[in-house]
C-alpha cells in the first residue's frame, strides 16, 4: 500500500498580528453590536467578516485586489489605505468602505502608538527596520515598517495519508521583540503548528 504525500506551503505574514490587534481593539464586537444582520445570515458574523477583510487590507495595502498607491493624507490618499477610485455607485457602499478604511487607519495608528510608547518607557530603539541599513535604529517606527518585518513568514504542512504535521518558521528576535512591545503573545504564531489526524 503506497502512502500519499502532500506538502503545502502557505504565507501567514502579518495576518496573526493584525487579527490579534483587531481583536484587542474589540472591532468585531463593536461591529456586531452596531450593525445587526438579517435573519438569513448563516456564516461568520459581520464583525468577523469585517475583521478578516481589514486584516487583508492592512496586510496587502489593497482594498480592491489591485495595487493601492502614500499617512492621513499620505495614507488615506495612497499606500496603504488608498481611496483610489473603485467605481462605487451607491452612497451607502461608499460610506461603508470609508468607515472600514477609517478603522484600518486607527489600527495602524494604534500599532505605532503602542510600540513608540513602550520604546520610550524602556528608553530603547529598534534596529533592523531599514532595508539596506540593518544597524540603523529608531524609537519612532512607522506601522508600515513594523508590519513589513512580518512579511515572508511561511507555514509548511506535510500530510501523509491522514497524518498531518504543520510547522511554522521560527520568528526572528526582531519579530518577537515587536510582538512583546505590542503585548501580543508569540503563541499567535506558534499555535499555527502541530500534529493532528484527519478524520474522514
- Which pLDDT value is given to residue 73? 46
Q: Is the pTM of this model over 0.85?
A: no
Distance between CA atoms of residues 105 and 103, nearest Å: 5
Domains identified in the chain, total number = 1
More confident residue, 136 or 5: 136
Residues 6+ away with beta carbon under 8 Å from 186: 171, 176, 179
pLDDT at 141 > cutoff 50: yes
Instruction: Examine residue 80 and say whether the peptide bond preceding it is cis (omega within 30 degrees of 0).
Output: yes
CA angle in degrees (0–180, nearest 5) for 106-91-83: 45
The pLDDT tens digits for 79-133 are 455 455 555 567 776 777 777 778 888 888 889 999 999 999 999 999 999 888 9
Q: Are 35 and 181 in contact (CB under 8 A)?
A: no
Model confidence at 198: pLDDT above 60: no
The whole-number average pLDDT for the span 152-178 is 88
pLDDT for 87: 57
Place of cell 500530510: 159
- Beta bridge partners, 197, equal 163
**Spatial contact of 157 and 183, defined as CB atoms under 8 Å apart:** no
Give residue 104's domain range. Answer: 5-197
Amino acid at each position: 500500500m503506497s502512502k500519499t504525500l502532500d506538502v503545502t506551503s502557505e504565507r501567514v505574514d502579518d495576518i496573526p498580528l493584525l487579527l490579534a490587534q483587531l481583536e484587542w481593539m474589540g472591532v468585531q464586537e463593536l461591529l456586531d453590536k452596531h450593525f445587526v444582520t438579517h435573519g438569513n445570515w448563516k456564516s461568520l458574523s459581520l464583525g468577523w467578516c469585517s475583521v478578516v477583510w481589514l486584516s487583508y487590507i492592512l496586510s496587502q495595502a489593497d482594498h480592491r485586489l489591485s495595487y493601492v498607491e502614500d499617512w492621513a493624507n499620505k495614507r488615506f490618499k495612497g499606500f496603504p489605505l488608498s481611496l483610489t477610485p473603485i467605481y462605487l455607485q451607491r452612497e451607502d457602499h461608499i460610506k461603508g468602505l470609508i468607515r472600514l478604511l477609517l478603522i484600518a487607519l486607527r489600527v495602524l495608528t494604534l500599532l505605532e502608538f503602542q510600540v513608540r510608547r513602550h520604546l520610550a518607557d524602556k528608553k530603547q530603539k529598534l534596529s533592523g527596520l531599514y532595508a539596506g541599513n540593518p544597524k540603523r535604529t529608531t524609537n519612532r517606527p512607522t506601522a508600515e515598517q513594523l508590519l513589513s518585518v512580518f512579511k515572508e513568514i511561511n507555514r509548511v504542512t506535510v500530510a501523509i495519508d491522514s497524518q498531518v504535521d504543520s510547522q511554522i518558521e521560527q520568528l526572528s528576535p526582531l519579530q518577537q521583540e515587536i510582538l512583546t512591545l505590542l503585548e501580543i503573545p508569540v503563541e499567535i504564531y506558534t499555535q499555527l503548528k502541530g500534529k493532528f489526524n484527519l478524520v474522514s
